[in-house]
Amino acid sequence: MASNNSGSNRVLVPGAKQALEQMKFEAAQSLGVQIPADGYYGNVATRDAGSLGGYITKKLVQIAEQQLSGTQR
C-alpha cells in the first residue's frame, strides 16, 4: 500500500516550479482555458483541468524524448 505523504513535496530542481507554472499558462492560452486569478481550481470544469494536465504531460514527454535523443528545439 502506498503511503500518503501529503505536504511533504519538496522542490528538487530550482526553477522547476516557475517553469511548470509558465507551461500551465501557455497550455491554458493554447487551449482557451481561463486560469483562475485566485489560484483556486475548484470552479474549473473537470474537462478543462484534464485538458491542461494532458497537454502539460504531452509537452514534458516531448522534452524528455528530445533530451534523451540529444536534440533540442
From CA 57, how far away is CA 63, in angstroms rounded?
10
Any idea of the CA torsion for 72, 60, 15, 8, to the nearest 10 degrees?
Answer: -150
From CA 6, how far away is CA 64, in angstroms rounded?
26
Over the chain (73 residues), the average pLDDT of each successive run of 10 is 59 85 90 87 90 92 91 63
Dihedral of CA 63/47/42/29: which sign?
positive
Q: Would you state the pLDDT for residue 36? A: 86
